[in-house]
Amino acid sequence: MNSRDELAARLDACQKCNVCTAQCPVAKVNPHFLGPKGLGPDMERFRMGQIILGETTLDDCSNCKTCELTCPSGVKITEMILGARRAASQGPHKNTLGAKLRLRGYVLGRAEYLGKLGVIWPTMANQVLKIKLVRLALDKALSISANGPLPAYGKPLAVRVDKEARNGTSTSKQVVYFPGCYTRYNEGDTGRILIQVLEHIGYKTIVPDFHCCGLPLEANGQFEKAHKNGLYNLELMRPYLEAGMPIITSCTSCGLTLKEEYPKLQATAVGLIGAQSYDLFEFLWQLYELGELPLDFQEVQASYGYHPPCHLKAQRIGTPALRILRLIPGVKIRNLDAGCCGLSGSYGFKAEKYDKAMKIGSALFEAIKVGAGHGDFQSMTTECGVCKVQILHGTGLPTEHPVHILAKAYGLIN
């Protein structure tokens, strides 16, 4: 940590300028929410005096990280809020969530177990989740909104392990892919296409049997389980990291967790994980800069609106997918950059937050509807799985991961 970071981590760096609150998607729609400045640096002073806030005040934060990106002084606002949530979950009983919301946190945090259940018989799971009565029951029993766009399940992405790579004896170029629960259980096709693309550009892909990255667990107050998952995944990555292999993510929230949370864990490989984790397009751009990315693109006559997910911005790497896609002849793409979609992981699935999540996303939905209405683009593309679900829910426009467009250009899919 350099001196600037230390300063920023300290709450004294907050000048109370309120720009974070002005940009906060939640504060705009929810007057009960104190806002990032209020809940982060302001309340931090009280927390330092051992006043522990209730969890319910804190969990209005959707953890989108917009405040941290916005802050001109580099204050770690969401980190403070998450820390306070952790403290509150262990605090005196009167401050903690009721049994129902605690159970909901348990369920929504476990995208992985839900995924494992869902993919046993995807059509069955999808049909059941479409039944109104089931959704009403979920709403009543767990406060999971009956209107929220719960994602469908599909054929899961298979694990691919390579013993040679783990021993460091492999000769071919290899990468490790961290697919994340959404790609693995809800959208296996995107994972399989991504592996095809990597193969096409000369990389063999290893997919170890990772657990959930931990972000949905943290967002739902399951801090211990998140911590355990992190340690488990890091141990699984360790031989590959030590062999110098890149870890590729296609989900921007998994990528954020690998880069931001894993380096804080106490494990042997933590020194490597930050620098060796790449968003897929960040990795491809690096190859392009080295002149190693095959440019055998076919023309793709299509125009897209692009939605940069909050957790991509939070990785502070710009929009590498746009850089790559704009190399493809025929592709037209507009970066809408219209703010958070509102779903923010599992936030918008929650009964009391559904309406607010839809309001948060309204600027994005409007930008999409107006743009598509003018014929500026025909479909949408974004990296984040749940942003896609929310965009479809809010606009009805088909949305795909940008790797699909790249795979079309390489002639790997139609």
Partner 1 sequence: MWDAIVVGGGLAGWIAGIRAAHRGKKVLIVAEGVGTLFYFSGIFDYGDVERLRHIPKHPYTLFKAQAIAQGKHFVQELCPEYVEKVKPQSAFTVLGTVRQGDLMPCSMALPDRQEQGEFVLLVPEGLKDFFPEIVAANMAREFPGWQVSVKRMQVDALGEWTRLGKSVSSIDYAFIWRSEEGQRALAHEIEEIKRQYQEAGRSQEKIVVVLPSLVKEYFDASRTKSYRFEFALPVLEMSSFVPSPHGRYFAEYLKHRFTDLGGELMIGARALSLNAESTSQSPAKACQEIIVQSLGKSLRLKGKKFILATGGLLGGGIKVGMERKSIREGVFDLPLFVPKEWSELQFFGPQPFAQIGVETDEFMRPLDPASGQVVWDNVHVVGRMLAHWDPWTQRCGGGVSVTSGYAAAELI
Query: Which residues would be at the binding site for partner 1 (CB under 8 A)?
Result: 4, 17-19, 21-23, 28, 31-32, 68-74, 256, 258-260, 263, 273-275, 277, 289, 313-319, 322-323, 326, 334-339, 363-364, 366-367, 370-371, 374, 376
Q: Where are the alpha helices (H) located in 187-266, listed in sequence order? A: 188-200, 215-219, 223-242, 252-260
Contact 376, 404 (CB under 8 A): no
Classify each residue of 144-171 as buried b or exposed e, where b means 16 or more C-beta atoms within 10 Å of its C-beta: bbbebbbbbbbebbeeeebeebbeeebe
Considering the complex, what minimum distance in angstroms separates the CB of residue 276 from partner 1?
Answer: 8
Toward partner 1, which CB reaches closer, 177 or 185? 177
DSSP state of 400: E
Nearer to partner 1 among residue 19 and residue 103 (C-beta): 19
Pairing label, strands 247-249, 277-279? parallel
In angstroms, give the least distance from the CB of 5 to partner 1: 9
The CA distance from 181 to 385, in Å, is: 10
Least spacing, CB of residue 260 vs partner 1, in Å: 6
Rounded-to-integer distance, Cα 400 and Cα 302, Å: 13
State which residue, 119 or 384, has the beta carbon closest to partner 1. 384
77-89 and 223-242 helices, crossing angle to 10°: 130
Residue number, 103 or 287, with CB nearest to partner 1: 287
Backbone angles phi, psi at 156, to 5 degrees: -70, 160
CB 111 within 8 A of CB 119: no
Bridge partners (DSSP) of residue 305 are: 334, 380
Instruction: Quote the least distance from Cβ 194 to partner 1, whole Å.
Output: 20
Is the Cβ of residue 68 or residue 218 nearer to partner 1 in the bound state? 68
Residue type at position 113:
Y
Q: Least distance to partner 1 from the beta carbon of 374, Å?
A: 6
Considering the complex, state which of residue 164 and residue 366 has its C-beta at the smaller distance from partner 1: 366
Q: Closest distance between partner 1 and the C-beta of residue 142, in Å?
A: 25
- Least distance CB 289 / partner 1 (angstroms): 7
CB of 386 to partner 1, least distance (A): 20
| Residue 44 CB contacts under 8 Å (≥ 6 apart), including other chains | 11, 80, 84
For partner 1, give the closer residue by CB, 69 or 231.
69
Of 83 and 318, nearer to partner 1 (C-beta) is: 318
- Least separation in angstroms between residue 363's CB and partner 1 is 6
Tokens representing 145?
A: 């909104």
- Least Å from the CB of residue 77 to partner 1: 12
Question: Is-contact 247 175, C-beta < 8 A?
Answer: yes
Q: Give 4 or 155: the residue with its C-beta nearer to partner 1.
A: 4
Measure the CA–CA gap between 12 and 5, rounded to whole angstroms.
12
Structure tokens of 95? 């401050």
Shortest distance (Å) from residue 339 CB to partner 1: 7
The pairs formed by 318-324 with CB atoms below 8 angstroms and a separation of 24 or more are: 320/279, 320/281, 320/282, 320/284, 320/285, 321/281, 321/381, 321/383, 321/402, 323/281, 323/285, 323/288, 324/281, 324/284, 324/285, 324/288, 324/293, 324/402, 324/406
Would you say 211 or 334 has its CB closer to partner 1? 334
Closer CB to partner 1, 23 or 186, in the complex: 23
Sheet of strand 331-335, all strands in order from the earlier edge strand to the far edge: 331-335, 302-306, 379-381, 399-400
DSSP letter at 95 equals G
Distance separating alpha carbons of residues 147 and 349, to the nearest angstrom: 8
